[in-house]
């Protein structure tokens, strides 16, 4: 697989086409590393993680104002992975960005490793220990309020799953975020329409989702969650809105569970399944061939 030197400074690339190709190559690398980590460790949420690759890449590698050399900088943007099933994909991106040492992903779920099933604050750059769903927005409200109180301009970004919205605490936080006028809070919804026990619309219907969030007083955007250029455009708009609006922000990112591997896409079995050696080899071949539309 073709590799690109790990750096988040792609500004020297001459054209939009080169930028697109760089995004494509890096996301393919991240998919392959995610698959490898799950297969070798014997655990991990592969479907959710594959659906989040482009979103996490755009956030951690391209957009967030964070520095692996200064992970506790008071002025850093805050990123909270509330949908903690995407942990292995987050670790892959954090390794690429320099928050984790090279080859650290090989120790995912190993005895004594800090790379556990869900992120913990023992890892530099992780703001919240994950595990129990539904708490990320409330945590993000706290960091957004802190920015306001101490005159900081950083943005708080929370990534939640659509199945996670079954949690009542999500909607309590939605009320609070609007009431407090936290325009410096952005919540991204991974809208892949599958949760652990079935399709979201069968388990607990969410639609009309955008209208629900608008009715709570949030500004809403929607985007293709597998298009880095579209994601980055929406993120840039959100940062601008943080300075000009008084409403918290939602970005509904439409994704596919298991994205990038044909036999995993939209298949509930892959919420937590680990591929066999043969399945892993087939999956890697598909990722390297870049089968999916748009190179992803």
* Model pLDDT, residue 291: 46
| pLDDT at 1 > cutoff 90 | no
Could you tell me if residue 176 is inside a domain?
A: yes
Could you tell me if residue 1 is inside a domain?
A: no
Could you tell me if residue 2 is inside a domain?
A: no
| pLDDT at 198 > cutoff 70 | yes
Could you tell me if residue 88 is inside a domain?
A: yes
| pLDDT at 278 > cutoff 90 | yes
Least confident of 58-62, 129-133, 209-213, 261-265: 129-133
Least confident of 90-94, 107-111, 292-296: 292-296
Domain ranges, residue 279: 16-295
| CATH at residue 43 | 3.40.50.970
Cα dist. 132→71, 116, 118, 174, 276 in Å?
24, 14, 10, 18, 28
Q: pLDDT (tens digit, 9 = 90+) per residue, 27-55?
A: 999 999 999 999 999 999 999 999 999 99
Query: pLDDT higher for 218 or 5?
Result: 218
Q: pLDDT (tens digit, 9 = 90+) per residue, 201-242?
A: 999 999 999 999 999 999 999 999 999 999 999 999 999 999
The pLDDT confidence band at residue 8, using thresholds 50, 70 and 90, is low
Rg of the chain over Cα atoms, rounded to whole angstroms, equals: 18
Could you tell me if residue 174 is inside a domain?
A: yes
Q: pLDDT (tens digit, 9 = 90+) per residue, 41-93?
A: 999 999 999 999 999 999 999 999 999 999 999 999 999 999 999 999 999 99
* Model pLDDT, residue 169: 98
The pLDDT confidence band at residue 13, using thresholds 50, 70 and 90, is low
* Model pLDDT, residue 15: 82
| pLDDT at 2 > cutoff 60 | no
| pLDDT at 5 > cutoff 50 | no
* Model pLDDT, residue 16: 83
* Model pLDDT, residue 86: 97
Could you tell me if residue 209 is inside a domain?
A: yes
Rounded to 10 degrees, what is the CA torsion of 64, 69, 74, 76?
0
Q: Which residues have a Cβ under 8 Å from the Cβ of 273 and sit 6 or more positions away?
A: 46
Q: What HEC string does the chain produce?
A: CCCCCCCCCCCCCCCHHHHHHHHHHHHHHHHHHHHHHHHHHCCCCHHHHHHCHHHHHHHHHHHCCCCCCCCCCCCCCEEEECCHHHHHHHHHHHHHHCCCCCCHHHHCCCCCCCCCCCCCCCCCCCCCCCCCCCCHHHHHHHHHHHHHHCCCCCCEEEEEECHHHHCHHHHHHHHHHHHCCCCCEEEEEEECCEECCEEHHHHCCCCCHHHHHHHCCCEEEEEECCCHHHHHHHHHHHHHHHHHCCCCEEEEEECCCCCCCCCCCCCHHHHCCCCCHHHHHHHHHHHHHCCCHHHC
Could you tell me if residue 11 is inside a domain?
A: no
Total domains present in the chain: 1
Could you tell me if residue 227 is inside a domain?
A: yes
């Amino acid at each position: 697989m073709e590799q690109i030197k790990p750096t988040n400074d792609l500004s020297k690339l001459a054209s939009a086409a080169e930028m697109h190709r760089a995004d494509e190559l890096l996301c393919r690398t991240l998919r392959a590393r995610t698959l490898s980590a799950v297969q070798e460790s014997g655990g991990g949420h592969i479907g959710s993680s594959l659906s989040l690759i482009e979103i996490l890449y755009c956030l951690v590698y391209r957009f967030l104002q964070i520095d692996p050399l200064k992970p506790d900088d008071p002025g850093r943007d805050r990123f909270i992975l509330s949908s903690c099933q995407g942990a292995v994909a987050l670790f892959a991106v954090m390794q690429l960005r320099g928050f984790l040492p090279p080859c650290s992903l090989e120790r995912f779920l190993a005895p004594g490793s800090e790379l556990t099933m869900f992120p913990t604050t023992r890892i530099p750059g992780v703001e919240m220990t994950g595990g129990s769903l539904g708490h990320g927005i409330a945590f993000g409200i706290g960091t957004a309020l802190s920015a306001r109180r101490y005159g900081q301009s950083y943005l708080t970004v929370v990534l939640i799953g659509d199945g996670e919205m079954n949690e009542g605490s999500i909607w309590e936080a939605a009320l609070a975020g609007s009431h407090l006028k936290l325009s410096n809070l952005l919540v991204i919804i991974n809208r892949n329409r599958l949760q652990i026990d079935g399709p979201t619309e069968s388990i607990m219907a969410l639609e009309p989702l955008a209208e629900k969030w608008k009715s709570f007083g949030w500004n809403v955007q929607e985007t293709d969650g597998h298009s880095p250029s579209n994601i980055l455009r929406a993120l840039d708009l959100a940062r601008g809105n943080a300075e000009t609006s008084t409403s918290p922000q939602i970005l509904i990112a439409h994704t596919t569970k298991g994205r990038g591997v044909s036999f995993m896409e939209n298949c509930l079995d892959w919420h937590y399944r680990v591929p066999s050696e043969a399945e892993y080899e087939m999956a890697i071949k598909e990722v390297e061939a870049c089968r999916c539309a748009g190179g992803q």
